[in-house]
Structure 1
Amino acid sequence: MKNLISLLAIFLLSNIAFSQTAALTGSITDNNKNPLLGVNVLIKDSNMGTQTNEAGEFKINNIEPGDYILVISSLGYKSKEITVSISKSETKNINTIVLYEGNEILGEVVIEGERRNKFSRKKTAYVSKLSLQDIENTQVYSTITNELLKSQVVTNFDDALKNATGVEKLWASTGRGGDGAGYYSLRGFSVQPQLVNGLPGLTNGTINPANIERIEVLKGPSATLFGNAVSSYGGLINVVTKKPYIGTGGELSFTSGSYGLNQIVGDFNTALSKKDDLYFRLNTAYSTEQSFQDAGFRKSFFVAPSLSYKVNNKLSFSFYGEITQAEQTNPTFLFLNRSAPTEAANLDELGYNNKLSFTSNDLTLENPTQNYKVEMDYKLSDTWQSQTLISRSSTSTKGYYSYLFDYGILGNNTFSRFINKQNANTQTTDLQQNFTGDFKIASLRNRMVIGLDYFNETQTNNGTGYAFYGNITPDGGDNGDNPFTAEVEMDAYPLSTSGVDAVLASQGVSNVKSKYHIYSLYASDVINITENLSAMVGLRLDNFDNEGDVTNPDDDYHQTTLSPKFGMVYQPIKDRLSVFGNYQNGFTNVAPQLVGNPEDGPQTLQSFDPEQANQLEFGVKTNLFNNRLNATISYYDIKVKDRVITDPSSPFNKIQGGEVVSKGFEIEINANPINGLDIRAGYSNNDSETIKSDNTEILNRRPLEAGPETLYNFWANYEFQDGGLEGFGLGFGFNGASERLAINYESTGEFMLPSYTIANASVFYQADKYRIGLKLNNAFNKEYYKGWSTINPQMPRAVVANISYQF
């Protein structure tokens, strides 16, 4: 780390001066005459462009004389096109250009000209539901840009998230109904990706990266603005998709690699009517991939149409859709016993042959998913805007799901297989009405959002019960002795649909439909007390209405919760250095539970208060050397109280009052020290512990969902800027984690998965219209594992090649 800092310091002290004669200059502000940093300024139908500096100023050099159209765009602001004429050897200055806040979809133009720090996108309209620069935002978040994903030839969502500081996969997507997406550890708590463009967007499978513009990982409890349905106490993951832009263009890409990877991706954007400001974009992808184990595969077809329509300067509409058809074998983790120690205490004793999948390509799951969103933006006045949002999501699971569990009955590290036939569907509806304002009271600038939110989720489950389907040992042995029968059985259990269907014929089929509603009112205000000091204040009123099983009125319940948020930012150097602190809240609604020993009479229904999580955090953010160094350093302390646990003296009772503390620090650096060199680095350390609980199984122990204590990631990408090697580039990086506890209970002891460091490298050639890249993942073929009471082997060395053409 010291060597890295020294290297960055040397680069950042370099001064690269350009002396051009024909040039175009100007400045850009918002409607309050505040200079805007990072605005894209593009000469239409060319690759020439730049971004504004901290003073809102821009300069484009080496322009030939003639007439041009400038396209001005910035995230969260409405785009502008300006016609300019430039004479020979002229330095033309344009009067101040004013941008008005508005629809991000209509204002997003990606340019490659002189953009600095491509791995960092530090302005977003989603994190605070306001258009704020990161340096003035009291919340910490990591942004994974499309440029970073391209430089790493990323083909799956798990690899993309390796770039987010403090995020680690707990287990891969299982595809099963209700919770089949992947799980990740974030600040000591598990989280799933459930947000698309700031709205709920669920999946039972994996997310296709072909349509990702960027990924935003918000850190800490975030219920004040997003509620509890899509966030966890550690934060949330928001996927921002590609959207229509002004112009015509696109890209075709083909990627092929080890273990049967083949992926073709198409991206096309065009104007359906330039006169009416009606633009259309279509992203699509087809992927197939096999497993590095003896069985397993995944294939998917994905299409994402999007539309933007600017009716006039006040009113605009947008539509987004995402449709996925996917089929996969579910990964068969080894589930460790949660109530008794396994015979093996580590991987060496377990004797695990990780090339065995313990499944068959005949047993698959289908995961069709649909996400839709409609947005209407209306400018009420120069200071207020209305935003109406409607989103619908539907995700299903059909097919065979199995798991392997160590019951500790048969000995010899025997894991029993249980299997069922899934038939589940989850549907969500979300309606939001936001009013955003940018106004002054006396001399104080206020940027405010006031919102109403209605969320509904309906789950249907018509799957079968689980049936015993043979045993395995980690080294490849198998037998048919059912551990829950007295007899020693020698039955065969073939991994085929006919064999499984025969066993499942005796299992019952569920017929369960459950539903809940959330009604919310929230408000947040960023107040500029002085030019350099601002405060953020937010509050959410949340009413949770659970119908439970729609045929059973006895399991209905209601809960109302307040969720506050507060933060302050002081900028000793305006727009370059800020010191921040925040208080953030999260909560979880807890369903009533039947308690009491059934042998003593009928059980009674006991209700509980919502669980509460509160975070205190402070740190520093930088935007130095004309956007060449973005860094965030923070320390956080999260305390969760009122956790509901099982009564250790009776399995029939529940107790509320458990407390968990999770604290740590994070460092993230995005640097562009010299032209052509982009660096991304992150380091995090987390200390989590259950400090209060009547259940001694977990007391004073690190929760399993907390993952590793230490995580780190690094990626550097250099592209030669001139000479014979112009366009050629190299990439190198690594990511790793300290050891983690797969099991950590009083009765089980510890099962520790070892630490790891994985190295990756790439070479590429970037031309005007095409790019060729070669990537080596896990270069040293490291054998490593992840898990959450599970043992899940990870991908060995793999080579990926990509060719793409832009038009």
Structure 2
Amino acid sequence: MNTKYYSIFLFLCISTLACAQTGTISGTIHTVDGRPAESVNITIKGTNRGATADGRGNYQINNVREGTQVVVASFIGLVTQEQTVTVRAGETAVVNFVLAENEAQLREVIVSAQRSPNRNTQVAKIPLKNLENPQVYNSVSAEVMKQQVVTTYDDAFRNIPGITRTWEATGRAGDGAAYFALRGFDAQPALTNGLPGLASGNLDPANVEEIQVIKGPSGTLFGGSFYSYGGLINTVTKQPYDGFGGEVTYNFGSYGLNRITADINTPLSKTEKITARVNAAYHSEGSFQDAGFKKSFFIAPTLAYHVNDRLSFNVMAEILEEERSVAPVFFHSDRLSPLDFRTIEELNLNPKLSFTSNDITIKNPKYNLQAQMVYKLSEQWTSQTVVSRGTVKSDGYYTYIWDDVAGDNSFSQYFHKEQFTLHTTTIQQNFNGDFRIGNLRNRLLVGLDYYSRNAIDNGSGWGWARNVTPQGDVDYIDPFSGEELPPVYLTQASVENLLGGLEGTSSNIVNSSYGAYFSNVLNVTPGLTAMVSLRADYFDSKGEKSMTDDDYDQFALSPKLGLVYQPLRDKLSLFVNYMNAFINVDPQSVYDTDGNFLEVKSFKPEQANQWEYGVKANLFGDKLFGTVSVYDIKVSDRVYPDPANPNNSVQGGKVGSKGFEIDLNAHPARGLSLLAGYSYNETKVITGNGDDFYSEPGRSPGGQGPQHLANLWANYRFPEGKLKNYGVGLGGNYAGRYKVIDNSATGVFYLPAYTLVNASLFYNGDRVRITANLNNLTNEQYYTGYWSVNPQKRRNFAASIAYKF
């Protein structure tokens, strides 16, 4: 027999024999009320064979070895169930499961149109349902981001009430990520999986499972290493799961958007529970302005190893490489003189002008590694050990536009070369207990953490390059001397020549903090719980490495209290909280009125304290989840210029923020999901310096965002019939008039209110998802700002094509 045909014959024989020795297991999974249970994991014990239940609760596992097999049904938040079955070659064995939990409980952990808001383990660092948690938090899921073809991290926040972006990521040293206004105060994406995860530019949403906005001062559990007076932004990353699966997506749209993402999950061992998941993205996009672009590559591998029922490991890395040109922030006031332009119409800024070129770029690479070990000490106690290491860089050119001399239509443009690196290290140990003392249930967290920060800055000096008008005219006349200077063109060589002769920065600063905290949730009665939490934090700054006397230390206590009463268990809760956050304040040099050095003055940490009360509801079998809350935040011990001596600083300033928020997450009918929210905030300086732009009593401090914000997103997917799996989405955002400048000397500058309408059409089948989104349907020109005017995109289109496997 010919060797070729012999090989084919042998292959067929082996294949036939293999098939003859395997069978199939299939079945259905229902809840006790008879409804199908979607997304439950089904595995063959001791193997890597498995499947996931579909929307009708059906599953099927092929090529199962004949003999006695144990079939396991599991899902997060459910009691794992096992059944033994005999598999015969060439036959199908039927194994059905009926889950003990009813549908309302199951849906707490099932991801459908929107990740359920009713359970969380990171906000309180204790496994608590939202109804049990006296703190308010909101979230947006990866599924909603897919519905809206969200390709940038920042755009996800249009689904969360009470938060708005005030300016885009600048990439500059120290604080180059996007700024958001949250309850009247600054907020930046600062946490990844509950640990410090700083950024110096944009973040990529490819590895995002959920974005959480944790409302209110949050220093008790998360420390004072980052600003958290109004709250914190926490990014929850995608985690490996049992079985093989994934998704590849191509996005395209306006302004040259091209984006490819891949999400691949696979088991790595046939005998042990080792799984890996890799998320990657390539992004290329232009700008709606006359110049501007972004190119980035992102990859995030995650490895999970479940050694046994008590011990597990998880390691995640994120690597982002990004290069872009950054349009300068347009500061239209010198913050001293009366404003020349009081409205957008008077300023007449051309929104299509970038005031930069694609030759002047900045790079913001980011590296983040997190490793976690979870060990179940006993039935009551669990240990979590986490180590995190991060590095972010700013490498390139930052530019801004400033009104050096008031009274004309001319603004100065400055350039600076960023050469900044930030290294962070976090080590955290948590112990979680769930036990009873008598008849009282205690859920106790005890934790220790260490956080180290090393900032290295070798940036250039700041160089004046040219004057520009809001309409795009350019001249090179020094605004102070009137002398005409050599032109600086928008090329990298020309900017380098400008900055080459300027004295730069050489700084290497190290500081660290040590924290110890506890939090206990006590069930006083089945429907009444009390939370008591406290943090002790020691901040140790070694300061500048080259200066031996630049070190200092500070100590802070941060309490957190809460009460929750559920008149209807698991349906309705009334809550009240008292929360705290703190920021360590750097010492400052003090000079007399003639400029003679006097001393270096130390300060206490600033403190933010909040009282909040409200109601949370989970009604109609988990079809409606809502939160209504009212809050009052007072920030004290702020440092501001001494009214009697501008060369001195005093402590004792106060800022107040009051408001209320409404958040709704509903599934009123099969296939229909709704997200809606509204917020109102009023932020003012209470105590300060009447002659200081930033701390004038009775005025807004800046960056607080619009007082009124509203969001809505409705998504409907046809569940059956000829249009099955087709659907439509519609929604938008409203922002009220916004005081970007509020001062008696300069006057008030408002950014106008705006309403954005967005819509989508989609097909979402078992294997393919196609979505087309049109954003800003009415083509409205709108602006954001932080003492500035930043034009935003008008009507734009984005589409995605995804293959699921």
TM (normalized to structure 2)?
0.90
**In 2, distance between residues paired with 1:95 and 1:795?**
49
Paired residue for 1:511? 506
Conserved in 2, the CA contact under 8 Å of 1:224 and 1:522? yes
1:491: Cα distance to partner? Answer: 3.1
* 1:48 aligned onto 2:39: no
1:205–1:84: structure 2 CA closer, same or farther, 3 Å change rule? Answer: farther
Select 1:568's aligned residue among 563, 567, 585. Answer: 563
* 1:763 aligned onto 2:761: yes
Conserved in 1, the CA contact under 8 Å of 2:510 and 2:544? yes
SS at match of 1:782: coil
* 1:555 aligned onto 2:550: yes
* 1:720 aligned onto 2:718: yes
Paired residue for 1:603? 598
Paired residue for 2:662? 667
**In 2, distance between residues paired with 1:85 and 1:339?**
83
**In 2, distance between residues paired with 1:480 and 1:616?**
53
Paired residue for 2:529? 534
Paired residue for 1:430? 426
* 1:118 aligned onto 2:108: no
**In 2, distance between residues paired with 1:315 and 1:108?**
27
Paired residue for 1:637? 632
Paired residue for 1:147? 143
Select 2:212's aligned residue among 207, 216, 223. Answer: 216
1:71: Cα distance to partner? Answer: 3.4
1:96–1:682: structure 2 CA closer, same or farther, 3 Å change rule? Answer: closer
* 1:745 aligned onto 2:750: no
1:550: Cα distance to partner? Answer: 1.5
Conserved in 1, the CA contact under 8 Å of 2:51 and 2:61? no
1:555: Cα distance to partner? Answer: 2.7
Paired residue for 1:402? 399
TM (normalized to structure 1)?
0.89
1:459: Cα distance to partner? Answer: 0.3
Identity %: 44
For these two proteins, the number of residue pairs brought into alignment is 754
My pick for the range that moved more, 786-795 or 700-709, is: 700-709
* 1:461 aligned onto 2:466: no
* 1:451 aligned onto 2:447: yes
Please list the CA deviations of residues 471-501 of structure 1 after superposition, one character each: whole Å capped at 9, or x if unmatched.
Answer: 10001111001113x2431532210111111
Gaps of at least 5 residues in structure 2 are: 1-26, 44-49, 63-68
Paired residue for 2:573? 578
Conserved in 2, the CA contact under 8 Å of 1:342 and 1:406? no
**In 2, distance between residues paired with 1:200 and 1:63?**
40
**In 2, distance between residues paired with 1:715 and 1:108?**
20
Please list the CA deviations of residues 489-523 of structure 1 after superposition, one character each: whole Å capped at 9, or x if unmatched.
Answer: 15322101111111111112321001111000000
1:61: Cα distance to partner? Answer: 6.3
Select 1:789's aligned residue among 774, 787, 790. Answer: 787
**In 1, distance between residues paired with 2:547 and 2:38?**
55
**In 2, distance between residues paired with 1:228 and 1:144?**
25
Please list the CA deviations of residues 530-558 of structure 1 after superposition, one character each: whole Å capped at 9, or x if unmatched.
Answer: 11111111000000111221212333211
Paired residue for 1:393? 390
**In 2, distance between residues paired with 1:47 and 1:600?**
72
Q: Which amino acid in structure 1 is aligned with residue 363 of structure 2?
A: E
1:414: Cα distance to partner? Answer: 1.1
Paired residue for 1:378? 375
Paired residue for 2:415? 419
Paired residue for 1:354? 351
* 1:182 aligned onto 2:184: no
1:228-239 → structure 2 map (5 Å cutoff): 228-239=224-235
Paired residue for 1:365? 362
Conserved in 2, the CA contact under 8 Å of 1:366 and 1:398? yes
1:92–1:798: structure 2 CA closer, same or farther, 3 Å change rule? Answer: closer
**In 1, distance between residues paired with 2:358 and 2:800?**
27
1:39–1:611: structure 2 CA closer, same or farther, 3 Å change rule? Answer: farther
Please list the CA deviations of residues 396-425 of structure 1 after superposition, one character each: whole Å capped at 9, or x if unmatched.
Answer: 01111111101125x432110111111100
**In 1, distance between residues paired with 2:783 and 2:162?**
17
Please list the CA deviations of residues 667-693 of structure 1 after superposition, one character each: whole Å capped at 9, or x if unmatched.
Answer: 000000011000000000001111122
1:598: Cα distance to partner? Answer: 6.9
Conserved in 2, the CA contact under 8 Å of 1:588 and 1:612? yes
My pick for the range that moved more, 616-625 or 742-751, is: 742-751
SS at match of 1:194: strand
My pick for the range that moved more, 702-711 or 303-312, is: 702-711
My pick for the range that moved more, 641-650 or 785-794, is: 641-650
SS at match of 2:221: helix
**In 1, distance between residues paired with 2:726 and 2:144?**
16
**In 2, distance between residues paired with 1:441 and 1:722?**
52
1:92: Cα distance to partner? Answer: 6.3
Select 1:705's aligned residue among 703, 706, 721. Answer: 703
Select 1:302's aligned residue among 288, 298, 312. Answer: 298
Conserved in 1, the CA contact under 8 Å of 2:30 and 2:99? no
Please list the CA deviations of residues 102-125 of structure 1 after superposition, one character each: whole Å capped at 9, or x if unmatched.
Answer: xxxxx999966xx4x625332121
**In 2, distance between residues paired with 1:64 and 1:495?**
62
**In 2, distance between residues paired with 1:269 and 1:585?**
40
1:587-626 → structure 2 map (5 Å cutoff): 587-597=582-592, 599=594, 601-626=596-621
1:274: Cα distance to partner? Answer: 3.6
1:9-88 → structure 2 map (5 Å cutoff): 24-25=29-30, 41-43=40-42, 48=53, 69-74=71-76
1:314: Cα distance to partner? Answer: 1.4
SS at match of 2:346: helix
1:598–1:316: structure 2 CA closer, same or farther, 3 Å change rule? Answer: same
Gaps of at least 5 residues in structure 1 are: 1-21, 29-37, 51-59, 99-106
**In 1, distance between residues paired with 2:210 and 2:595?**
56
Q: Which amino acid in structure 2 is aligned with residue 272 of structure 1?
A: L
1:351: Cα distance to partner? Answer: 1.4
Paired residue for 1:654? 649
Q: Which amino acid in structure 2 is aligned with residue 414 of structure 1?
A: S
Conserved in 2, the CA contact under 8 Å of 1:590 and 1:609? yes
1:48: Cα distance to partner? Answer: 3.1
Paired residue for 2:474? 478
Q: Kindly name which structure, 1 or 2, has the bigger radius of gyration based on alpha carbons.
A: 2
**In 2, distance between residues paired with 1:74 and 1:584?**
30
**In 2, distance between residues paired with 1:448 and 1:63?**
39
Paired residue for 1:489? 484
**In 1, distance between residues paired with 2:84 and 2:195?**
37
Q: Which amino acid in structure 1 is aligned with residue 373 of structure 2?
A: M
Paired residue for 1:54? none
Please list the CA deviations of residues 327-347 of structure 1 after superposition, one character each: whole Å capped at 9, or x if unmatched.
Answer: 011221111322223311111
Q: CA RMSD in A?
A: 2.7
Conserved in 2, the CA contact under 8 Å of 1:74 and 1:108? no
Conserved in 2, the CA contact under 8 Å of 1:400 and 1:421? yes
**In 2, distance between residues paired with 1:120 and 1:511?**
49
Q: Which amino acid in structure 1 is aligned with residue 554 of structure 2?
A: Q
Conserved in 2, the CA contact under 8 Å of 1:396 and 1:424? yes
**In 1, distance between residues paired with 2:396 and 2:360?**
7
1:746: Cα distance to partner? Answer: 2.0
**In 2, distance between residues paired with 1:730 and 1:68?**
42
**In 2, distance between residues paired with 1:683 and 1:97?**
34
